[in-house]
Structure 1
């Protein structure tokens, strides 16, 4: 049974995201002293008093104004209420009761959900009770003073909402979702692609650059397997980013790469590979994440012929040569063209990213590589020797090669060794790492005997 869900709603700048972060014990939602920072639905898990639940943060609600993102924010809030079993209405105790609060409360009374009123920014006890008293006028029950910044009163808010939630029974056999982050420059179609994969308007889509700010997590199921899709903010050049909301958005995007199993690097087919795409690709490789390169807006490329796909492929491979191991997909988030193939590729690259090779097989491939190309010899006539190899970890697959002197193995031979391992062991879509460990022949012999006497890695 899924965890019960509580929607957090209110007008702009009342501290909804601060309160959500306090409940979850994280700083996942971006908090900034300006209205309209949160736009999409942001889910976090909360544990309180032995109970587990989820809360969904929403954007600030303003009725009677259809400018910029406000209609989209209202649509996202409605979607959150459709999923939720209860609502926490957050109001600002310092500013007092405003007409905008009354509007939101009137709207909530039309919804078939229990509502708890959390009066935020009540930093002191007696004064907080006085501040909260003004919100009895909303007619939604007892207003509870609290502070998302300092944490006081948050326990009382959770205690008030728990009786309205069904008990959840954790599924011990539940499969851990594969985490897929969607990254790229602004306006390449990341949110459109997320919505297409989810099958609903999960994220706000707009031609305005910087629409997505937080990293948006969505868990879906495809062919019986769970996936966690993470939409991220568009990443611009560092020198163009000012400290503020965009700075925090980009940091969230980089953290999304770190916590993902697979990264979908989205490229605009009309713009081709840019310098910023190359920097993102390098970041993905450095973090050791599996990757699928997704060329979006393929439907918008005009005058395509039998050579167009090959020309684009060659150009992308040349510019993203450090991701030559990543599969390439040409899709259209607008029409859905080939988007379902993304899950097939994700399964392939995740399997490679988590692959474990037995020590015996590693050394068979190693001996085959040595028979094709002997290790180099330096100017003094000293030749490199590879004694033994074994896989020491996965995610990404990492191998240790015991050699006489790591300095004898230059970049070209190391690239040859990686290419040979890829050809023989199929590491499609994942980086692989080699650690060249130098030891004396005697100590290597002892290491070999020790490894041969121990069970092979799984």
Structure 2
């Protein structure tokens, strides 16, 4: 089930990253007193009263940059002001709720007023109704006197201020209670046995072209069904008797004019599609090669434990010889070394080259996702792995796995009983994964190991 997205916005140095870290429960964002430290958006999952939601930390919106002769607020990132604002505005656009942070110590500033004006304009973009809801958060209210300052922020016309201290956690409970009450309720869908395939990737990678090609195949029966992602319409097809739901992110565009540079930041949209999918088709533009944005999206696929296929699109536009494909594959494997089990397919959505292989490959990956190994095979592989390569000794002790069993598929999850899970190093679990994959490849699918002590 897709989680709601909550964006943290405000001018530089109001404590957005500090609040982000508190909600995430760990120090994921860099916190510094120099304004402009946060440039890119950061993502994490938060939970309150049993409700999970995704939070996105944005760089400070610096309205001063647009005015000649004014000193920028983002001292640490003055040369990136335009890009930071673009990312923050995209986060505002795609969020289900917004936490607008201001600073009780500094009081109400002209920059706060300008950010409030930006948010008011965004609120009127959906049928004239205030959406998404904005919560005015007065941060750094560490004392009674500073909490009293919160009343001056009524002037912004953004509703009742919430005085909090992100550093100490004061006041965050009331804020979170009201926040989760405002988040959209996801209706439980009826039984849907279709294979959910998400088409993800940075803009202009050819996602729309691929969707049109897949839907246009003669063997496909097409019907539109509403998705849970705002402005998205899933496409239901039937391929060789198998029901498939195609989840497209390409059709979600900013309302109104698209500002230069904004469209290249598409992680929020991809994140929603990935969470709802069984298999993600990660599209990469062959003419530009793999980028940091591509690897970020691949990382989200892995974190969500989804299966994947990498599609290198626009292959027709690449000058090549007999070695080009092999060299390109090697570069991809290097950049995506954390997903070396993922199949790679070189296609052209424009000409149709190898597009007929996309759905069969995705369905094969889904079958691998549902595969199960019997307990006898699992324990034979565990024994062989430990005989071939004994775990390293740490503090006079070494990991010993006694036996294991597969407790679920989708994705394949193995429960391993051992002497002490703390002795399990990441590198050894990776070695064990390779041993399992030699027995059964689990093509395109992550494998999860859960270690439990045997008493």
TM-score by length of 2: 0.51
2: distance between equivalents of 1:359 and 1:179? Answer: 30
Residue 152 of structure 1 corresponds to which residue in structure 2?
Answer: 170
Partner of 1:10: 10
Instruction: Verify the 8 A CA contact 1:192 1:333 in the aligned structure 2.
Output: no
Q: 1:123 maps to what in 2?
A: 142
* Unaligned stretches of 5+ residues in structure 2: 67-77, 125-129, 209-247, 284-291, 382-402, 417-433, 449-455
Deviates more, 1:111-120 or 1:349-358: 349-358
Q: Return the alpha-carbon distance in structure 2 between the equivalents of residues 63 and 333 of structure 1.
A: 41
Asked whether the 8 Å contact 1:219–1:229 carries over to 2, the reply is no
Q: Is the 8 A contact 2:154 2:160 kept in 1?
A: yes
Q: 1:30 offset after TM fit, Å?
A: 5.1
Aligned length: 329
- 1:154-193 residue pairs with structure 2 within 5 A? 154-161=172-179, 164-165=182-183, 167=185
Q: Secondary structure at the match of 1:152?
A: coil
Aligned-pair RMSD on alpha carbons? 6.0
- How far apart, CA to CA, are the structure 2 residues paired with 1:334 and 1:68? 37
Quickly say closer, same or farther: Cα 1:171–1:20, change in 2 above 3 A. Answer: farther
Which blocks of at least 5 consecutive residues in structure 1 are unaligned? 183-188, 232-245, 263-289, 367-389, 401-416, 434-458
The Cα shift of 1:151 comes to 0.8
* Residue 87 (structure 1) shift: 3.3
More deviation in 292-301 or 332-341?
Answer: 332-341
- Is this contact kept in 2: 1:392–1:398, CA < 8 A? yes
After TM superposition, give the deviation of residue 220 of structure 1 in Å: 1.3
How many angstroms apart in 2 are the aligned matches of 1:15 and 1:230?
A: 34
Q: Structure 1 residues 136 and 27 mapped into 2: Cα distance closer, same or farther (>3 Å)?
A: same
TM-score, with length taken from structure 1 = 0.50
Q: Secondary structure at the match of 2:167?
A: coil
CA–CA separation in structure 2 for the residues paired with 1:15 and 1:335: 50
After superposition, the C-alpha distances for 1:20-60 in whole angstroms (9 at most, x for unaligned) are 34335455555455415243474645424x66655544332
Write the mapping of 1:2-41 to structure 2, written as runs, cut at 5 A: 6-27=6-27, 29=29, 31-34=31-34, 35-40=36-41
Greater alpha carbon shift after TM alignment, 73-82 vs 101-110: 73-82
Deviations 1:376-396 (A, max 9, x none): xxxxxxxxxxxxxx9844766
1:412 alignment partner in structure 2: none
Change (3 A) 1:24 1:299: same
Which residue of 2 is the match for residue 108 of structure 1?
119
Q: What is the alpha-carbon distance in structure 1 between the residues aligned to residue 141 and residue 190 of structure 2?
A: 40
Shift of 1:139: 3.2
Deviation of 1:117 (Å) = 1.5
The residue that corresponds to 1:142 in the other structure is 160
Q: Which residue of 1 aligns with 2:249?
A: 198
Deviation (angstroms), 1:148 = 1.4
Match of 1:301 among 287, 293, 318: 318
Secondary structure at the aligned position of 1:23 is classed as helix
Question: Aligned equivalents of 1:129 and 1:338: distance in 2?
Answer: 62
Counterpart secondary structure, 2:116: helix
Larger radius of gyration: 1
